[in-house]
Each structure stands twice: as structure tokens, then as C-alpha cells.
Amino acid sequence: MSIITAALEISYKVPKRHHPAMQFVVTQPLGAASLVFIVALFIAGVFADFVVPYDPLTLDYDAMLAAPSAEHWLGTDAFGRDVFSRIIYGARTALAVGLLASFLGSTVGAVIGVTSAYFGGRIDMAIQGFMDVLLSFPIIVLALAVVAMLGKRLVGGIDVNLILAIAIPMMPRVERVVRSSALAIREMPYIDAARAAGYGHGRIIFRHMAPNVVAPYLIMFTAFMAQAILLEASLSFLGLGVTEPTAAWGLMLSGTSQEFYSQAPWMIIFPGVAISLAVFSFNLFGDSLRDYLDPRLKV
């Protein structure tokens, strides 16, 4: 009995492991709070048709430049369109473009990074040389160049070339981070064992190496969601992204908003706040996810 009693006493002293989601909430409360905002933003964007009080495209010349009130919570723009409704629909545009561009850029960059690390030698040198060329351009400059060369190509209401213009500048940055992790994995004994077993390059890369770089991939993916949203807003503001009458945050800051900013400052303030909150939330969640997944910070 004494042995059983001692075992029970020890078991009470050993801290119970939380579910990974609960552990993330406990260890990264700011990251969890930002995730709640991100989820709410996705829900609002997906169900915008049921959330907004007005059609974002409907013109109401009797309510032009109306100040925020009980009827129009965030006021109206120069065409009488409800600002709150356009911000909610703008969230749908920003998240759709941002998610697709970030997924494309991060995934292609991760695959290139793992492949480059696996083969090494001249292949690695050639790939890194090309990535150096892309990295020599600032993100916004490269995105401007790509979207200017490709123009617009709508598929299902989404500008595919805009997504490519945002994804291409992300690829070399993700590639470098993933490659650095893949270089260490390449030297692991199980990779040598897979080669000795006669497995093909594709199987080794995608089944044995790629799963072990998921952590840096997820971190870069969430971080570049913020970059993608900011790039989409910047390109739309410059007239190279989403165009009227589609609701987009960057588009709401251009055109008539600049003409009537002194008379109706809410036309600029609220879209700017939406962009800032979205970018801040994704950056904060990405930082929290990095800290949570980093084994060196585990207690």
C-alpha cells in the first residue's frame, strides 16, 4: 500500500499536459486574442451578405458624406455608400487575396527551399542565385513590376495576376528560411537510410524532409498573410490592384477619400484602422506561433 500511496502522491505533483490548443492559449494569451480577431474577421468576410446592413455597391445620393450615426454606423462615402458595409466586404477581398497569395508564395517557396537543400551542389547554387536576384528588389517594387507586366486577368471574380504579383516577392524569403532548416534535416541518419533503401528523390523530399519543415512554413505563412494584406491594399490604392466598384480597403483610401478627407475624415480613418488591426493581428499571431513552436523556448 505504501508504494501505491507514494505513486499517487507523485502523480498529483506531476503537472498535467494541456491540449495543444489550450496550451497555446495559456502560454501565448496575446496570440490567442489575435487569433480570435482573425477568426472573427474571416467569419465577417465569409458571411458578409448576412452581416452588413446595406449593399456596399448601392449609391444613395441623399446620404452622401453622412457622418457616423445610428443609421450609418461608420458614415457614408462621397457616393452615399455605407462605409461599414464596404469595410466588411473589403475584409472578404483582403482575406481572399491575402490567403491565396500567402499560400501560393509560402508553399512554392518551401518546396523550392527543401528541393534546393536536398540536391545541393550546382542545383543549390543556381537556385540561390535566382533567389538572390529576387531578394535584391524591395517587396513593393517587385510586386509593382509584376502586376504592371502581367496586367489584369480575372478568374471567378479574382484577379489571378494580382495574387501572383503578391506571391512572387514572398517566395525567396520563405525559401531561405525553409532551406536553412532543410539543410540540417538532410544530414539526419534517416535521410541516409532512405537513400540506401533506394527511395526516389520525390519520396525523400516530400515524405521525409517536407513534414519536418512544417513549423517554419506555418510561421512564415501567417507572417506573410499580414504582408499580403498590406500589399493588396497598397496596390489597390495605387490603382494596380482591385478596382471599382469592388469593396477593398486600399481602394477606400484613394479617389474621393483624398478629396473629402477634411469634410469626411471617417472615409479614411476607418479603412485605415481596419488595415492596421488586420496586419497587427496576423503579425502578433505569427510571432506567438513562432514562440510556441520553438523548442528552445519550451520549459
* Residue 43 located in a structural domain: no
* Residue 269 located in a structural domain: yes
Rg of the chain's alpha carbons, rounded to an integer?
Answer: 24
For 9-26, the pLDDT digits (tens) are: 443 444 445 677 788 778
pLDDT greater than 70 at residue 122: yes
* Residue 31 located in a structural domain: no
Which residue carries 504579383 as its cell? 165
Q: What is the pTM of this model?
A: 0.83
Question: Quick one: average pLDDT of 246-274?
Answer: 84
Q: What pLDDT sits at residue 91?
A: 92
* Residue 179 located in a structural domain: yes
Coil, helix or strand at residue 88 = helix
Encoded amino acid at 68, one letter: P
Residue 247 corresponds to which cell in the numbers above? 469593396
Q: What pLDDT sits at residue 57?
A: 86
Distances in Å between the Cα of 18 and the Cα atoms of 22, 27, 290, 296 are 6, 11, 19, 19
* Residue 172 located in a structural domain: yes
Q: Which domain holds residue 149?
A: 79-297
The mean predicted confidence, pLDDT, of the chain is: 84
Report which secondary-structure segment, H or E, holds 131: helix 121-135
Question: Quick one: average pLDDT of 115-138?
Answer: 91
Residue 83 corresponds to which cell in the numbers above? 462605409
For 163-197, the pLDDT digits (tens) are: 999 999 999 999 999 999 898 888 888 888 888 88
